Structures are given as C-alpha cells and as structure tokens.
Amino acid sequence: MAERQIGNYIILKQIGVGGMAKVYLATHKDVPNLKVVLKVLSNSQHADRFMQEADKLALLDGNPNICQIRHFFEHEDELVIAMEHIDGLSLEEMIEREGSFSIPEVLKIITDLLAGLAPAHSRQIYHRDLKPGNIMFDKGGVLKIIDFGIAKGKADPQMTIVGTATGTPEYMAPEQFTGGEDLDYSKCDIYAVGTLLYRLIAGELPFKGDNEFVLRDAKMFDEPPVPSSLREDISREFDDIILKAIAKDPEARFSSIDEMRTELLRRSTGQDDVGGGPAPETMAAVVPEPIAPDPPTSKKQPEIPRTSRAVAGGDGRNGKRGFGKIAGTVIGVAFVSAVAIFGLRVLFGGVDAPPGGDRSDTILEPGATMADTTVSEDIVPSGDGADPISPPPPDAEPGRAESTTGAERPAVREEPVARVVEPGILLVSSRPGFAAVFINGERQSELTPFSFERPPGQYTVRIVKVVNGQERVHTETVTVTSDKTTKVSHNFEQ
C-alpha cells in the first residue's frame, strides 16, 4: 500500500475524527523524527472556524501548557493545521488508568491547567470545550491543552446558531445550553474547570443525566452533592472553592481564572491574608504548614530571677512576696544613704560635676544654676514627676532608668510578627524544548518548559540548548513578584 502524503508530511495513522476535521499522526518526509499531528478539514462549511482555530493557536504560541501550532497550509483544496505531537496520555486516559488522585496531584493538575488558560483569557480567547479528553501530559509530565476547535475570541463573529449549544454537556455551564451572543465564556471555562476539579476530587461528576436535556435540567435546578460528603479527606474550604466554581449563576463564580488559581494556591499553602482559618489538613502534603510566629510578649509577666526564688523559698507566690520585702528594704537603705551623702556634699561644698562630666542634658528648675544640680553615676533621674534621686531597683542594669511604682512592670520588647511573603512563578520555556535552565548561575534539574516557584526578587535566567551541533544561549534578567507568573521564553529556531 502506497504511503499517503499531505504536503511535506507522511501519514502514519489516523488517530481521530470529528464533525469538522480528521486527525492524523504524521512525520516530516525529510526529518523522520519530526512527528506532528495533522488536522485536516473535512467539512468546508467549517472553513472559517478552522482558520479561526489556527489563528488562536498562533496567538498563543510560546505558552508551554497549550499545544503549539507548527504549520498551516492548503493541500488539494483541503485546509491543514500541523500541530505539536504530544507523546503522552490524556487526562481521560489517566482517570481510567489511575481511578483516583491524591489531593496534591489534583491541585497540581488544576493549577497547571489554570496557568495555561490564563494567558489565553488575557487575550480574550476562551476554549469553551474543556474536558479530560482535551488535556494531555507529555512524557515530562507537562500539561498541554489541546483542541481549540471551538475556541472563541471576544471580537470573533458569532459562528454558532443562536439557541444551539457548543461544548461537551457534562462540562458545559448551564447558560451554554441555550447559547446566545451575550455569554461570558470566561465564566464557562471556569465552570468546566470546576466540574473537572469536582470529578478528580469526588470520583464522579456533580450532575448526571441519561441525555443532554436531563443533564441540562439538573444543572439548572438541582444542587450537587457536597464533595466532602463523597470523600472524607476534603475540607470545608475545598468544598467552597469547588462549589463556587460551578455555581449556577455566572456572577457567583470566580471573577477570573487568575482568582481561582490564586485561591487554590493560597488554600494549598495555608496562607490566608484575609483572615481565614488554618490550612486544611488535606492540603498539608503540598507545602508544609507555615510555623506560626510567637505571640507578642508585651503582656507577659516578668519571670522571677532564680536568685529571688532561692532567697524567698517555697512556691512562686511566696517568692514574689519575699522578694518584695527584701527589695523594699534595700531601696529604703539606698535612699537614706543617698540623702545622707548628698547632704554631706552640700555641707562641704562638694557639688561639682565629676571630671569630664557633661551637664548639657541636665534640666534645671526655675531659678536654679548648674551649681545647684548634680548627676551621680549611681542615681538615675527619671521624668513624669518621679523623685529625681530615687535609686534603681537592685536588679536594674547600670545607667538604665526603672520605675519603682508597684503598678508598673518592666517593659518587654514586643517582637514583630513575621509576614509570610507569597512566592511568584518563574515560567521558563524554549523552542525546541528540553533546554537546560540556570537561575542566578545555578543549574536546575528540570528542563524547559517548567514553572519554578521563587520568592519575589530579581533573577538572571540562562537557557542553554544545543541546536544543530552548536550550543545556543539566551540570558535574561527578570523580576519575580508575589502571586504573579513571570515568563522567560526563547525560540532557538529563529
């Protein structure tokens, strides 16, 4: 049997067929190891939509989580899209094979999916048919979103007949069943991601129906089971995120893909800047629970010195009472001695300051002169009307003013509460992929494309790839900010 060739590509096998196109696995005739997926338009009525898909893929070129377009051409009056071949499994196949997923695995899948959708949504491009079959993972574990066949841009013309539905019923938002020109497709994508999250967590879909109409009515009028009722290790916080994503009212859902991803990351790391509760137990395996800072110690009672307890004897209360008596006696003796010494110095005219002493900060009473004042090394004056010659308590540090009133206690410095800084995402990609990555001179074990979590700051990223026997290097310095994705990408093929 003769090989079939489309353009410069030799067909290996057919891998899919749909209402708009047939899909083939092919290899380049001159580069046998270059495999691509060819999507060949089979219905000319969908030519505009087909070209729209190619255009959307071109706009999203460079996004490591979206299947890349390689070529668009015409062959024997047929339109053809050549796309990146992803050698791996779809999420649908993984669900069938694995059955269930751990909480960290689910969070990784969903946050990567949201990270891939965010740049598309920022360009007002919406997928409209997100489901496990349209999500794949390559051999490196990188998530790839495929099949933008019914993707729609905000400014694109309406190609669906009003009143008809687009998408897969199990993952469609309630409002998608009726269609219309005023749909907010960003909220439709959020609903689909929420439904996928529900299925991965609970092991089943939130709504079931034998046909499209039963499923539509269930989504419009019924309430789904709370996920934690189907799986014991689900927290209330996780319930809230899932149910918010699949709310019947589009306005009650997350306002954006970024908001949903930020909320999932915040819940997974236990960080809640809006006064929420502690991290759910089910999230603890993702990132260790942050160590809570010690509470402020400004109200902590001063501990009785060991020497005081030894003198007082007995329990803490008796020790404090004994210490008070001893301290009072010592203070009284010191006060009488100070008064006697001061009187003798005044009597014999010895009121000069110590040699080299500085009186510049001495406060004089009205009508007094410097000869009428003295500051002793053992007597520290205090403000607020306190006795200017009252001695410090026995355990006070030399030269440090202390209050001697029973109502006041030694001030304890209040430790500042450490503020946890949210990390940012440093997304490094290249064409071709599998390039080495150096961050601030340190080689990373992961190859491109990969998302690195880094604290906010400036980073020098170096991407190294051998192309046609030559080592090519791209260096770029970027600033990572909290809760944001910073991208470094380079095309070595240019």
Which residues are catalytic, by number?
129
Q: Residues 6 or more apart from 355 whose CB is under 8 A from it?
A: none
Token code pair at residue 361 = 């900060």
Task: Indicate the DSSP class of residue 276.
Answer: -
200, 112 contact by CB (below 8 A) = no
Task: Indicate the DSSP class of residue 118.
Answer: H
Token code pair at residue 28 = 């380049």
- Report the 3 state secondary structure along 124-180: CEECCCCCHHHEEEECCCCEEECCCCCCEECCCCCCCCCCCCCCCHHHCCHHHHCCC
**Which residues does residue 126 pair with via DSSP β-bridges, in sequence order?**
152
Alpha-carbon span 6 to 29, nearest angstrom: 10
* Angle in degrees, CA 25, 28, 34, rounded to 5: 80
Sign of CA dihedral 349, 354, 356, 357: negative
**What pairing do the DSSP bridges indicate for beta strands 21-28 and 9-17?**
antiparallel
